[in-house]
Structure 1
Amino acid sequence: MLHQIIGQAEKHPSLIPLLVFIGAGGTGAGLYLLHLALFNPDVSWDRKNHPDPWNKLGPDDQYKFYSVNVDHSKLKKEGPHF
């Protein structure tokens, strides 16, 4: 398969930027999925010792990758403390 891609890139050099962009996009998507798997509080890798990691989040903890116009340090907790 890689041989076919290289052959097409040699025949049509205008495809090279497209192939680079698709390869970089796949890498970025893979890194984002890795970030979600490692740092998302909804994911629990150790169910025996740490079954509910989402219960230990405070109201000012930022767990999203990017938040638009939200200052997490000034949020107040609404609701009961578990």
Structure 2
Amino acid sequence: MGGVMNFIRQAKNKPEIFPLVGILGFAVSGAIFMSVHQARAPDVVWNHKDNKYPWQEIRDGEQVKLTTINQKYDSRWNRSHW
């Protein structure tokens, strides 16, 4: 507690510390929120009911990437259902 009280006493004389503390507090709280969120749900599943494993429906040669670099595909992938 001594360090926190010392910081508060010094902050009264230097008001330029308040925006830094606010930005740092926002960043730390956002990092904590995201780490808790990722720890509770580490995988991304868009549709839990129809197909839990959509990557098993992709055939060889289908283009499923948004950007392809130095790759050529014969067919284009289409989503059959939502």
TM-score, reference length from structure 1:
0.49
Larger Rg belongs to: 2
TM-score (norm 2): 0.49
* Larger RCO (CA under 8 A, 6+ residues apart): 1
Q: Which has the higher helix share?
A: 1
